[in-house]
Amino acid sequence: MNHRTLAAPAAALVVFGLGVTAAVASPATVNTAVKAQVQAERNARSSQRQIDQLDDQTKDAIAEYRATIAESESLKRYIEQLSGQVQSQDEEIVSLQQQLEEIENTNREVLPMMDRMVSTLDKFIDADVPFLPEERANRQGDLETLMLRADVTTAEKYRRILESYQTEMEYGRNIEAYTGLLGDTDREVEFLRVGRVALMYQTRDGGETGYWDNDARQWVQAPDMERSVAEGLRIARKQAPPNLLILPIHAPQEAQQ
């Protein structure tokens, strides 16, 4: 009876040992499982990097898209501005063309008129009292030469013509004393011009006095005017105060019809 009692636990131990041996995994199986886990983690990290990379690329793409949209809007506004400028320039070109046509038409009308003005001034000087003959002739000659020059603008030519007319007008408003030759002679005398009313002369020694008779177109001696001319010369040179002068003035005549 005692033999049966001792044998039973031994058998149970054998059975238990067999159960434990069956439950423990082999090393190969464990390694495989570990490798699988490691590979899974690697794949997970790789996938995460790909996801992060795709996210960065998406953000860059969105930023680039927004920059492209902004640049497109800027270019659109720039093109609109250029279009406005081009339209304005086109209008300016049309205006300039019209002005050039008007200038050309004006030149065709103004140039003949200016030629007539120069010719009229020349005739006026020839018919006028012959004071400052060389100065006035030189100015008139310069004016006629100017009219033939192509490198001078129409406006400048017109300005010079008006300037000559203004100078001639001023002669009629002042009194002047100057030295010059008497007519075609080589005698140097003192001239007294009182506007265009009278042109008189006197030799330096006061021995001869005369005046210009514009009706007869000649110089006339006038001994009785010696003191008046001498006084007038002093007044013109500001050597004496203004005073009344006796001048050889012709009475006005009625214009012929």
Render each residue's pLDDT in the chain as its tens digit; 257 residues.
Answer: 444 444 444 444 444 444 444 445 577 777 787 778 878 888 878 878 888 787 788 888 888 888 888 888 888 888 888 888 888 888 888 887 777 677 667 777 888 999 999 999 999 999 999 999 999 999 999 999 999 999 998 889 999 999 999 999 999 999 999 999 998 888 999 999 999 999 999 999 999 999 999 999 999 999 999 999 999 999 999 999 988 887 776 655 554 54
206: helix, coil or strand? coil
How distant is the alpha carbon of residue 254 from its chain centre? Answer: 55
In a domain, 137, yes or no: yes
Total residues found in the chain within this entry: 257
In a domain, 196, yes or no: yes
In a domain, 52, yes or no: no
Query: Which residues fall within 8 angstroms of residue 131, CB to CB, at 6 or more apart?
Result: 171, 176, 191, 193, 199
Dihedral sign (CA 186, 139, 198, 206): negative
In a domain, 125, yes or no: yes
In a domain, 1, yes or no: no
Same domain, yes or no: 116 and 149:
yes
- State the total domains in the chain: 2
In a domain, 55, yes or no: no
Query: Which residues fall within 8 angstroms of residue 206, CB to CB, at 6 or more apart?
Result: 226, 230
Q: In terms of residue numbers, what domain contains 221?
A: 174-244
In a domain, 139, yes or no: yes
- Alpha carbons 8 and 2: distance in angstroms, whole number: 11
